[in-house]
Each structure stands twice: as C-alpha cells, then as structure tokens.
Amino acid sequence: MSTHPTDSIRPRAITMWDFSWLERRWPGAGYEDWDLALDELLERGYNAVRIDAYPHLACKDPEATYELIPVWSVHSWGAPMRCDVQVFPALLEFMAKCRDRDIKVGLSSWYRRDTGDSWKELFSASRHAESWIRTLDLIREAGLMDAVLYLDLCNEWPLNMWAPFFTGKDNNVAAVQGAAYTPGSGGVNWWDDRSLNWLREATDLVRSAYPDLPITTSVHPGIPDASVLDFCDLLEPHVWMSGGDFYHRVGYTFQHKFDYSEYEEVAKNAERIYRGDPDHWHGVLHGYIDHVAQEARKTDKPLMTTECWGITDYIDAPRLDWGWVKESCAEGTRYASETGTWCAIATSNFCGPQFHGMWRDIDWHQNMTSLIRNGTIEVSVPDTLKARM
C-alpha cells in the first residue's frame, strides 16, 4: 500500500561513499576516522549515505579478512592498489555511528573482487538474494535494521564492472592484469527480459525475508520505461550531463583506469567545452532529469539518485578546477529538486572527504543540502520507505 506523503516528509540529502568507507582507511585517505568524516558530513547538511555492504563476502565469511583487487588506480573511489578488508564487525560499527547521527544508510554493492573470486558464488538470482539475506540477518541480529534507508541489490545492474556474476565474466580483473577493459554488460541491457527476470526473482526472495525493507536496483543508463520495474519500491537512476555527447567531445572513453591519459583529455577539454556553451549542457541535463521525472510520475514511484549531475569521473589534479563541476552539479540538484519526484538527492559523485576540492567548500554543500531537504515529494512513497524517511 502506498500513500501520498505529507509535508512532514522531506527528501533526504544523500551521498555515495561506495566502498571507500571501508577501503580508504590509510592516513590521509579520508575515512580513517569515521567519527570525523560523519561529523563533517552532518556539518555539510547530508543525512543519508549509500555504501557497499560487500554481501558476497559477508555471506561467505563475514569476519574473514579478504584481499581486494583494485577496480582502478586513477580514480579516488576505493583503494588504488590491493588492500585487506574485514566486513564485519566494521559494517555494524559504521552503521551504529550513522544511526547515532540520524544519518540513514542505503545498502548497495559494487561486488568488489577479492583474490578468492567470491563473486563466482553468486551464479543465480537465488544465490544473489541469499547473499543479501545473510547480510541483513547479521544487521538485524545487531539491532541495526532501523538505520537502513533502503536496499540496492546491485550498483548499475548489470554492468560487467559491477555484476560479473550475471555474465560469468570478469573483464575488470583482466584490465588489472594488463588486458584491455571492455565496458558494458555482455550485450544485455538492464531492461532485457533475462535481466529483469533475475532482478524480479532476487527482489521477491529478499522481500519475502524482509517485507518492511524498501528494495530497488540502481541502473544506468536512464529509464526508458519504468513500468518494467514494477517490482521495485523506488527508482534509482544515475544521471549525468556527461552521459551523452559530452565525453565524446572530451575524448574520454572510460577504458584507461590505470593511467592518467584520459584525465589529460579531461584537463585539456572538459571545462573548455562546458564553458563554451553552458546553457546547452544544462539543457542536456534537464532533458535527462525531465525524462526520469516523467517516468516517476507515470509509475507513481519516488526517485533516488546517488550518482549524478555533472561529470562522471573527476579528481584533485593539476589543471582540474572544481568550479565548473560545482556549477553544473548545482544546476542538476536544483532542477531535480523542483520536479518533486525525488525522495533522496545527491549533489555529485564527489561528496566525500577524499575529494578535497569539493569537500572543503562547506557553504556550497550547505546551500545544496538546504535546497534538497526543503523540497517536496509529489509522488507516492511506499509505506516501507515512508517509515524510514
């Protein structure tokens, strides 16, 4: 049953801390002191965070130490080289600190690769669901289910980078070992029958075990027809201005994850192209936002977006200025908020302490989060989500 929200329900200002929350814990990496990082997040006005719960590792052996293989070295998400992680009890400790601050936790997974190839155990939708149910059981046993905002079964399903178990191939590790990385999902779009059948089965199984938990699966690119996601409680599209022709003009292909050659192209071209016609690029972004907002209204489901608005990949580096990134992200944040279809809105992909140029502008974050949290929700909010907002 769904009901339209009252004025007492406002959108959450959310950020993506992905797998960085656990992997970036060396001195100066940004998350070595969770209390400090979370206090700084609160200072900036955010009250929700989306993180990787590593369900495939938690299900296999929650307290084991796993050696993780880097997904890249040039980006600032996660560790740039091999690292060791222990998911439990770390996840419980982090979630408890979030709950103490009324920061709701969105659980997701990028299915990080470990040297034991644990991803291979998720060879079916039922095994995918089982990994989440076991992880949620551990959270429930610790009395922390009230800290959970929602569950995202898989980041950007079914991209091979994040869901190798769907295709049975792991192009990401091939790239680490020096082979060419092939992006995509083996020719399968998330809206194809095979993909939807997997998601529906996994969602139904998790929902049977946890009927009070809002469940979705984040997707990219876009939502051509949200009616096929009728089994989701909310929609999580990832939306960027750079998702169309922008990166083509820049010369960025997402294929060079272990050298800085493509960031050199970003440094040469990205701001110049944006500044050459910002109204055009804002219009491109508005078009993407308008489309997913229309799908939300058509299906009467709320949107949640945790990766968004300006450029997709960016770092602190020479000749890479944050000014135009903040400008484009502010435009997306404002425009999305005004649609009244989002229940949680992020301000960029870069709202974390490791992105120093973005993080240090406290006023910018406070202005954006104030705008988000004072917005309205004009589509139905499922009771399961309403109770957690």
Class of residue 278 by CB neighbours under 10 A (exposed 0-12, middle 13-18, buried 19+): middle
At 170 the pLDDT is 76
- Of all residues in the chain, the percent with pLDDT exceeding 70 is 94
Return the DSSP state at 70: P
- What three-state secondary structure class fits 96? helix
Does residue 34 contact residue 51 with C-beta atoms inside 8 Å? no
Closest CA to 140 of 210, 70, 79: 210
What is the tens place of the pLDDT at every residue in 91-149? 999 999 999 999 999 999 999 999 999 999 999 999 999 999 999 999 999 999 999 99
What is the DSSP track for 205-234?
A: HHHHH-TTS-EE--BSS--S-GGGGTT-SS
The pLDDT score that the predictor gives to residue 173 is 52
C-alpha distances (whole Å) from 234 to each of 135, 155, 300, 301 are: 21, 14, 9, 6
**Predicted pLDDT of residue 147:** 98
In angstroms, rounded to a whole number, what is the distance separating the alpha carbons of residues 352 and 350? 6
Q: For 209-221, write each residue's pLDDT tens digit.
A: 999 999 999 998 7
Rounded to a whole number, what is the distance in angstroms from the first to the last CA of the chain? Answer: 16
Spatial CA neighbour of 147 closest among 211, 102, 87: 102
Rounded-to-integer distance, Cα 141 and Cα 5, Å = 31
**Between 349 and 180, whose confidence is greater?**
349
Give Dmax (Cα) for the chain: 55
* Residue 169 confidence (pLDDT): 75
Distance of CA 295 to the CA centre of its chain: 20
pLDDT of residue 208: 98
Question: Does the structure show a pLDDT above 80 at 157?
Answer: yes
252: closest CA among 238, 266, 271? Answer: 266
pLDDT tens across 159-177, in order? 999 999 998 877 665 444 4
Domains of the chain: 2-386 (3.20.20.80)
- What is the Cα–Cα distance from 208 to 213, expressed in whole angstroms? 10
The pTM (predicted TM-score) of the whole model is: 0.94
87: pLDDT strictly greater than 60: yes
How does pLDDT run across 242-251, given as a tens digit for each residue? 977 999 999 9
**pLDDT band at 8, cuts 50/70/90?**
confident
Tell me how far apart the alpha carbons of residues 319 and 298 are, in angstroms, rounded to a whole number.
43
Q: How confident is the model at residue 370 (pLDDT cuts 50, 70, 90)?
A: very high
Helix (H) or strand (E) holding 151: strand 148-152
| Residue 279 pLDDT > 90 | yes
Q: What is the mean pLDDT of residues 226-250?
A: 95
In this prediction, residue 244 carries a pLDDT of 76
Average pLDDT for 200-226: 95
pLDDT in the model for residue 257:
95
Cα separation of 367 and 259, whole Å? 35
pLDDT at residue number 274: 98
User: Could you tell me what percent of the chain has a pLDDT over 90?
Assistant: 90
355-362 mean pLDDT: 98
The overall average pLDDT reported for the chain is 94
Mean of the pLDDT values across residues 331-356? Answer: 98
Q: Which residues are within 8 A (CB) of 357 and not within 5 positions of it... i.e. 6 or more apart?
A: 316, 321, 322
- Name residues whose C-beta falls within 8 Å of residue 24's C-beta, 6 or more positions apart in sequence: 30, 31, 32, 78, 79, 354
pLDDT at 188: 79
* Alpha-carbon torsion, ordered 362, 363, 364, 368, to 10 deg: 100
Question: Per residue in 14-73, pLDDT tens?
Answer: 999 999 999 999 999 999 999 999 999 999 999 999 999 999 999 999 999 999 999 999
Confidence of residue 187 (pLDDT cuts 50, 70, 90): low
Neighbours of 2 (CB within 10 A): 16
